[in-house]
Every structure is written in structure tokens, then in C-alpha cells.
């Protein structure tokens, strides 16, 4: 080894899952813990990670361009948020009173509010407005320790406006330090102009898919499979059409009613099935049998004021599933970018342990967006995406809640956040912005 770009020393404890595959059931608790550690990085990748003395010895005579002292922080893999509705316009605080008065989420949607209200705002927004709003959200995520995020379309519901969202995500992926995995979700709701004609709209979504795929705008196709939105049969049709275009399947499954979304995810071998509050035992069994990753969104059930939660303990203990966690950041059911709030809620309401939560937010989340071979652990050869928490141990993260524990974030081998501040912010007005 002749050169190291960045050497991170003074890590109080390095804690990471190991490997490229999802960690299932009890294996979610298996972490590698290395006290007094260091990480050497080169060309955006991890070159060496381990006890500080081993790393320093392993450097030999390599020239080190930059050294940063982690000051005793806890180092973990950069967090991955595998379910967000990042790119959209407007906000929905005007629906707060309805929600507090007890009006159900699907009733607000059926009356033309909810998702459809954000569709109107997103259709009316310029590409630049979408880009700038999402850029600010990405900064908040980065400051919390997130280094890769999934972003869905689904507030356009026409080819042109779905494209507008996905093109904004593509530009953001190039301009912002965070990496973005894009998902086409034309089947997020039935637009007002197709009211009562869901089958026809499902046909239109199938026609949009090749156009989205040929422009390289998405890796995944997602459907809101729910009573009053898309049926299991319509969801199957759309996801199979997506698959024919090379898009891997994701499903908003069994969020409110037990419709068979988890069973469909199993049948199709989807990459992930998300929400799952109402998933049946048979649905969970089918997820496990077909390698589908459950993505749980405890921020959503919290914000909707539900007193029921996804059965994370059953998923881990009984069904041997590789549970993952995400924010579901969106302007309606979960208006927060905070993965650290989700960490707290996963402990409080899903009864997950700190070790399971870290696995769920790193390697399992990476696998839920098909990136387990590149990110999600701190190991030689992986992308150098690392978060430094100002915390004495992992259990401190859900314990001391409501504050941001991220002191530093290394993205692709460079400090993107240091001393809780964004480093080298890139200009929003440079080339490539809409
Ligand atoms: N459930 C459907 N979609 C989003 C909510 C989107 C919205 O309300 O705008 C979700 O995952 O929670
Ligand atoms: Zn969602």
C-alpha cells in the first residue's frame, strides 16, 4: 500500500455487522465490536479497518494525505434509509386537525386530500423547486448519519410529472453527497382524472414503465397495495410489467388492512415488502421463504397515532426474517427525515434491541435496495461510508432521544459532516441543476 487518502483514528468503538448478505433473525444481533479502532480509506473505499495498532502497522510506509481524530466517538456504517418519498412539493399541515379529530388516513385520501393533495402541489411545482426542497431534506438526513437513501416518485401520477420527480432525484444523486436509489411509484394513488377507473389507470402505469426504464430513471417499481387504492391483482400486473422492464419489485404491503400484499411480495420474490402492520402469518412465512426483506416504518404508525405496530419481534424470533427500518419520509403519514427518531421508535414500539436496530439500519437496509455488496458494513473493500456518534455505546442512541448524536459523517472516504456541520457544501446553482 503506497497511499491513503484519509486515516480516521481515535475511534472509541467500531461497531458493524459483517458481510454482504441480509442478517436474519438471531443473526441480526451479531455485530463485530472493536474498541480503540481506526479506519484507513483510499479512492472512496475502506482499505483497512480494525484495532488502531493493527491499522497503523498495516499502513507500512504508505503516505497518508489526511488524518482525522474521531475523539472517542462510536463508529458505525453510514446509515441507509431504504424507504422515502423524498421528492415532492408542498406540505400537509392543513390536514393535522382532521387527523387529530380521528379521520382515518384512507378517508382523507378518498376525499381528494392526502396523497392527492401532494400530487396537485407536485404537478404545479417547477423541477427546480422539487430539487431544492429535496436537497434540503438530504442535508438533514446527512446530518443525522444517513449516507444512502431510496427515493420514490408517486406524486406525479402522469408520465411527465413522474419523470419530473425522478429526474430531480437523478440530478440530486449527482449533486449531493448522499447516494440515491430511485423507485418508480406511479401506482401510489389513483389520480383524480381516473377516479373510479383504477383498472384503466393501472394500464397507464404499465405503459409508463418502459419509458421510465429506457431513460434509466429507476431501479425499482413500487405499488401501494391497499384497500381502496390498488388491489392485489392490479399490483401484480404492474409489478410484473416493471419486472419485464428490468425494475425490481417493492410493495407497500398490508399497511392498514390485511389484503395479501405480503403474500404477493413472496410470490413475486420482491426485494422488499414495506409497512406490514397487518401482515398475516402466512404472508410473513412467504416473505421468509422467498428472501423478501421487511422494511418497517415505525415513524408512520407513531405519526398516524396508531396503537398497533408491525410485529418486529415475531418477524425476527418466529419467522427468521431480516428486518430493516426506514423513515418513510413523506409529507403526509410521516413528515420527518429523522432516522434517529425511527431508531428510538424501533426500540420503544417494535421492541427491537440496539444491535438489531443497527443491523436493520445498515446491512439489511442496504440489501433492501440491492446494495449489500457495496455498503452497510465497515469492511475492507466496501464504500467508505461511516457515521461517528457522540455516544458511549449503541444502547445510548435509542436511550437519549430527541437529539442528533451524529458528530461526523464520512461519505465515499471524505468528511461530509464534521463537528456536526456540513463540510464543503456544494452549490445548488451549479451545472446539472434544473
Ligand atoms: N402509504 C402510502 N404512501 C406513503 C404515504 C404518502 C403520503 O401520505 O403522502 C407511506 O408510505 O406512508
Ligand atoms: Zn411509503
Question: Above 0.85 for ipTM, yes or no?
Answer: yes
> Is 328 marked as a binding-site residue?
yes
Which residue, among 224, 122, 221, has the nearest Cα to 181 in the 3D structure? 221
> Is 275 marked as a binding-site residue?
no
pLDDT at residue 425 in the model:
56
> Is 249 marked as a binding-site residue?
no
| CA dist., res. 427 & res. 274, Å (int) | 34
| CA dist., res. 169 & res. 190, Å (int) | 22
| CA dist., res. 223 & res. 236, Å (int) | 9
Look at strands 414-418 and 248-253 and give their pairing: unpaired
Q: Give the contacts of 30 (CB within 8 A, at least 6 positions apart).
A: 17, 18, 23, 355
Rounded distance from Cα 141 to ligand 1 centre (Å): 19
| Domains of the chain by residue range | 3-77+375-422, 79-369
Rounded distance from Cα 281 to ligand 1 centre (Å): 24
Nearest ligand to the CA of 332 is: 1
| CA dist., res. 368 & res. 147, Å (int) | 15
CB 106, CB 278: distance < 8 Å: no
> Is 255 marked as a binding-site residue?
yes
CB 45, CB 381: distance < 8 Å: yes
Output the CA torsion sign for 309, 313, 315, 321.
positive
pLDDT at residue 433 in the model:
73
**Atom from ligand 1 closest to the CA of residue 115:** 9
CATH topology (fold) of 79-369: TIM Barrel (3.20.20)
Which residue, among 386, 427, 424, has the nearest Cα to 407 in the 3D structure? 386
Which residue, among 384, 389, 391, has the nearest Cα to 411 in the 3D structure? 384
Rounded distance from Cα 11 to ligand 1 centre (Å): 38
Which residue, among 228, 290, 296, 304, has the nearest Cα to 259 in the 3D structure? 228
Q: How many Cβ atoms from other residues are within 10 Å of residue 432's Cβ?
A: 10
Residues of the chain under the 50 pLDDT cut: 426, 428-429
The DSSP output letter for 230 is B
| CA dist., res. 205 & res. 105, Å (int) | 23
> Is 154 marked as a binding-site residue?
no
Q: Is 252 in the pocket of ligand 1 (CB under 6 A)?
A: yes
> Is 330 marked as a binding-site residue?
yes
pLDDT at residue 160 in the model:
98
Rounded distance from Cα 345 to ligand 2 centre (Å): 17
Q: For residue 276, give the 3-state DSSP assignment.
A: coil
Output the CA torsion sign for 266, 270, 271, 275.
negative
Q: Is 422 exposed, middle or buried (0-12, 13-18, 19+ CB in 10 A)?
A: middle
The domain 3-77+375-422 is placed in CATH, from the list 2.30.40.10, 1.20.1250.20, 3.30.420.10, 3.40.50.300, at: 2.30.40.10
Do 3-77+375-422 and 79-369 show the same overall fold? no
Q: Is 224 in the pocket of ligand 1 (CB under 6 A)?
A: yes
| CA dist., res. 214 & res. 335, Å (int) | 32
Q: Is 299 in the pocket of ligand 1 (CB under 6 A)?
A: no
C-alpha cell at 340: 434517529
Q: Is 300 in the pocket of ligand 1 (CB under 6 A)?
A: yes
pLDDT digits (tens, 9 = 90+) for 151-191: 999 999 999 999 999 999 999 999 999 999 999 999 999 99
| CA dist., res. 314 & res. 25, Å (int) | 9
Rounded distance from Cα 41 to ligand 2 centre (Å): 35
pLDDT at residue 20 in the model:
98
Q: Is 330 in the pocket of ligand 1 (CB under 6 A)?
A: yes
Nearest ligand to the CA of 224 is: 1
**Atom from ligand 1 closest to the CA of residue 274:** 11
Nearest ligand to the CA of 272 is: 2
> pTM here?
0.97
Nearest ligand to the CA of 115 is: 1
Q: Is 298 in the pocket of ligand 1 (CB under 6 A)?
A: no
Amino acid at each position: 500500500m503506497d497511499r491513503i487518502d484519509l486515516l480516521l483514528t481515535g475511534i472509541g468503538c467500531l461497531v458493524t455487522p459483517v458481510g454482504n448478505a441480509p442478517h436474519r433473525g438471531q443473526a441480526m444481533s451479531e455485530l463485530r465490536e472493536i474498541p480503540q479502532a481506526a479506519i484507513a480509506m483510499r479512492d472512496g473505499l475502506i482499505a483497512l479497518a480494525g484495532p488502531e495498532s493493527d491499522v497503523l502497522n498495516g499502513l507500512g510506509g504508505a503516505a497518508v494525505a489526511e488524518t482525522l481524530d474521531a475523539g472517542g466517538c462510536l463508529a458505525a456504517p453510514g446509515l441507509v434509509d431504504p424507504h422515502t418519498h423524498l421528492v415532492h412539493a408542498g406540505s400537509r399541515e392543513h390536514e393535522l386537525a382532521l387527523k387529530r379529530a380521528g379521520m382515518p388516513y384512507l378517508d382523507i385520501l378518498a376525499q381528494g386530500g392526502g396523497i392527492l393533495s401532494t400530487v396537485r402541489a407536485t404537478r404545479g411545482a417547477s423541477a427546480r423547486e422539487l430539487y431544492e426542497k429535496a436537497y434540503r431534506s438530504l442535508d438533514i438526513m446527512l446530518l443525522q448519519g444517513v449516507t444512502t437513501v431510496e427515493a420514490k416518485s408517486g406524486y406525479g401520477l402522469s408520465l411527465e410529472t413522474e419523470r419530473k420527480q425522478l429526474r430531480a432525484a437523478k440530478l440530486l444523486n449527482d449533486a449531493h453527497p448522499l447516494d440515491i436509489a430511485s423507485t418508480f411509484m406511479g401506482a401510489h394513488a389513483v389520480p383524480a382524472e381516473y377516479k373510479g377507473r383504477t383498472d384503466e389507470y393501472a394500464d397507464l402505469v404499465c405503459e409508463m414503465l418502459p419509458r421510465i426504464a429506457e431513460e434509466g430513471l429507476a431501479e425499482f417499481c413500487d405499488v401501494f397495495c391497499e384497500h381502496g387504492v390498488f388491489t392485489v391483482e392490479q399490483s401484480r400486473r404492474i409489478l410484473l410489467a416493471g419486472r419485464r422492464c428490468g425494475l425490481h419489485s417493492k410493495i407497500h404491503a398490508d399497511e392498514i388492512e390485511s389484503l395479501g400484499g405480503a403474500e404477493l411480495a413472496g410470490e413475486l420474490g420482491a426485494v422488499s415488502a414495506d409497512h406490514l402492520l397487518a401482515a398475516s402469518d402466512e404472508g410473513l412465512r412467504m416473505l421468509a421463504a422467498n428472501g423478501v426483506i421487511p422494511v418497517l416504518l415505525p415513524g408512520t404508525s407513531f405519526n398516524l397515532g396508531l396503537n398497533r405496530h408491525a410485529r418486529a419481534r415475531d418477524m425476527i424470533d418466529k419467522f427468521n426474517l431480516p428486518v430493516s427500518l426506514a423513515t418513510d419520509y413523506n409529507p403526509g403519514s410521516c413528515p420527518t427525515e429523522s432516522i434517529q427518531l425511527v431508531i428510538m421508535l424501533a426500540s420503544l414500539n417494535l421492541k427491537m434491541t440496539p444491535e438489531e436496530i443497527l443491523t436493520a439500519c445498515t446491512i439489511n437496509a442496504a440489501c433492501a435496495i440491492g446494495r449489500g455488496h457495496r455498503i452497510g458494513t465497515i469492511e475492507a473493500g466496501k464504500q467508505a461510508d461511516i457515521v461517528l456518534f457522540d455516544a458511549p455505546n449503541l444502547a445510548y442512541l435509542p436511550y437519549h432521544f430527541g437529539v442528533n448524536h451524529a458528530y461526523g459523517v464520512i461519505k465515499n472516504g471524505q468528511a461530509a459532516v464534521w463537528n456536526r456541520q456540513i463540510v464543503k457544501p456544494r452549490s445548488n446553482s451549479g451545472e446539472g441543476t434544473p
